[in-house]
Amino acid sequence: MRTDGQIDLADNKLLATLPGTDRERLRRYLHPVELSFGKVVHEPGTARRNVYFPVSCVFSKQFLTATGDAAEVASIGNEGMVGIPLLLGCTHTPIRTLVQVAGSAWCGDSATMRQEFVRNEALQNVIFRFTQALMTQMGQNAVCYQRHSVEQQFCLWLPLMLDRTRSYHLHLTQDLIAHTLGIRRESVNEIISRLARRGVIRHECGCIEVLDRARLERASCECYGVINREYARLLQ
């Protein structure tokens, strides 16, 4: 990552795996954007026009219920991209995608990127591999939500957020965490308090600082290891 405020295509891990000539070709069609917290980039039932390759921001993909409640099915950071259905010719999906952590990304017009996807075998291969990893994350999340405790779910989600932000400090309110995981705010408060008493995290003023990453991962379930290994296997 650049330290002077500039970003490079290779700051996105998916783009970094492409041969240099293919990455440079994509530079013509992508432009850097700064995305604010809570910005909705894809809304259910509306046409999607852009794809995103996150650098420092994190996206949350959510399903909405008829009552307006939402539950996260996956998060995407600098390991991947947002907008796979657009490259496959689907402009509408039932999933809402919003910015969970503000930051930078590369943005491209979906029609142009679809043309590049069709003609560029290297881009196809890396996006197919990322899609497999994303499917693993979504499937493992479903298992976790059904079979594991809310504390284990939180301890799965938090390391994934750390991986995507490359930071041990996360600005996350309890309301945001509860909304994301689909659990009660009181449950989030109890989990955070327990982990803080154990010296795993520190929480104050809407900021969570991870003090002991190893213990945090041990407090999780096997799901984090499954997801992490699949991303490492497919995107190196």
Angle subtended at Cα 140 by Cα 137 and Cα 165, rounded to the nearest 5 degrees: 40
Whether pTM exceeds 0.85: yes
pLDDT digits (tens, 9 = 90+) for 127-183: 999 999 999 999 999 999 889 999 999 999 999 999 988 788 888 889 989 988 888
Alpha-carbon span 144 to 224, nearest angstrom: 10
Greatest distance between any 2 Cα atoms in the chain: 54
Contact call for residues 83 and 134 (beta carbons, < 8 A): no
* pLDDT of 236 strictly over 80: no
Can you give the pLDDT at residue 91? 83
What domains sit in the chain, N to C, each tagged with a CATH number? 9-123 (2.60.120.10), 149-220 (1.10.10.10)
Helix axes 121-147, 150-165, angle to 10 degrees: 150
Q: Would you give the distance in Å from CA 15 to the centre of its chain?
A: 15
pLDDT tens-digit series, residues 43-72: 988 888 899 999 999 999 998 888 878 889
